[in-house]
Amino acid sequence: MSTFSIFLVLITIVCFLLIVVIMVQNPKGGGLSSTISGTQMLGGVQKTTDFLDKSTWTLATILIALILLSSLSFTGSLSDTDSKLIEKTEAPANTPATPVQQTPAPATPAAK
């Protein structure tokens, strides 16, 4: 398994976790924090909201870091160095240009 494939799996897992954390939140304050009564989970409603907020930022930061690291590790066979289109456009540039020889036009006598 290549390094890029490992990064791809990690990015997929982080994306899934980020989707779950965002879906649990409610922008109007009625998400997971409104269904919890009392101080049973993570120290209360305020602590749950803080935890969800911090986990969203953490997962987003991890996602950006993984994307940047995966782009640095990408040296796969699909890179631009193996592109057939680039080979076709570079082929005429590599061939030496042959000079065009001009033959002098025959002199025609001036008509009187």
pLDDT of residue 17: 95
The pTM assigned to this predicted structure is 0.53
Report the first-to-last Cα separation within the chain, whole angstroms.
88
Q: How far is CA 18 from CA 50, 65, 70, 82, 103, in A?
A: 15, 14, 18, 35, 74
Assigned domain for 36 exists: yes
pLDDT string in tens for the chain (112-residue length):
788 889 999 999 999 999 999 888 876 655 555 555 444 454 555 677 788 889 999 999 999 999 999 888 876 555 555 556 655 665 555 555 666 677 776 777 766 6
Assigned domain for 55 exists: yes
pLDDT of residue 42: 47
Q: Which domain holds residue 12?
A: 3-75
Assigned domain for 66 exists: yes
Q: How many other CB atoms are there within 10 angstroms of residue 58's CB atom?
A: 14
Assigned domain for 18 exists: yes
Q: How many domains does the chain have?
A: 1
